[in-house]
Amino acid sequence: MAVSKAYPERQIQVFTNAQGIARFQLNDRGAYLIKCVYMIPASKHLNADWESFWASLTFTLSDS
């Protein structure tokens, strides 16, 4: 998911393709937060259904 600092209500949600690649079209300049989660079925020895791995990236998109 991509979230613009200036327009947080305009969240962009995408999913990866078979190669694990996701593409965003970011139309506004400014600061962004990219959030992602990768989920897999939990190992049998865990007392859970899923394991999740989280990551985030922040950057500024500028004209130059």
CA distance linking residue 25 with residue 12, whole number of Å: 8
> What band does 60 get if pLDDT is binned at 50, 70 and 90?
very high
Predicted TM-score (pTM) of the model is 0.76
CB 56 within 8 A of CB 35: yes
CA distance linking residue 47 with residue 34, whole number of Å: 30
* Tens digits of residue pLDDT in 13-43: 999 999 989 999 998 899 999 999 999 999 8
CA distance linking residue 54 with residue 41, whole number of Å: 15
